[in-house]
């Protein structure tokens, strides 16, 4: 079921990416020099779809980093709780090994 849902979502995305790549394969001049004027020093020609995908990838990367940093307090709380659970488990195990076993019914002496 999960695989079918993935395919239903992935196939249209792939078709859209291929359509964008084919429709925007013309070259554009990308200038990195903001003060170059009409003849920039640092410029190169790339297909437009490269720029579109690079911008999308940068957006995903920046969004992922922002989400990861905002969730740091929850990850820290989970680590602390996990450490507390481990400490309690160790204490319980120590108490079990140190406990004096009670005599069973068979080991008791009859009272006369």
109 in any annotated domain: no
Distance CA 70, CA 42 (A): 36
Asked if residue 106 is part of any domain, the answer here is no
Full-prediction pTM beyond 0.85? no
* Residues 6+ away with beta carbon under 8 Å from 111: none
Distance, CA of 56 to CA of 62 (rounded, Å): 10
Instruction: Tell me what the pLDDT averaged over the chain comes to.
Output: 86
Q: Total domain count for the chain?
A: 1
pLDDT digits (tens, 9 = 90+) for 75-101: 999 999 999 999 999 999 998 888 766
Measure the N-to-C terminal CA separation of the chain; round to a whole number of Å: 72
Domain that holds residue 47: 2-31+40-95
pLDDT tier at 44, thresholds 50, 70, 90: confident
Q: What percent of the chain has pLDDT over 90?
A: 38
Does residue 103 sit within a domain?
no
């Amino acid at each position: 079921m999960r695989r079918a849902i993935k395919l239903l979502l992935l196939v249209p995305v792939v078709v859209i990416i291929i359509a964008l790549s084919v429709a925007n394969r013309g070259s554009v001049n990308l200038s990195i020099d903001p003060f170059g004027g009409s003849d920039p020093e640092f410029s190169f020609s790339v297909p437009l779809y490269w720029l579109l995908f690079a911008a999308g990838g940068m957006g995903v990367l920046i969004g992922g980093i922002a989400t990861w940093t905002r969730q740091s307090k929850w990850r820290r709380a989970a680590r602390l709780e996990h450490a507390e659970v481990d400490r309690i488990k160790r204490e319980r195990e120590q108490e079990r090994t140190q406990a004096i076993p009670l005599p069973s019914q068979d080991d008791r002496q009859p009272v006369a």
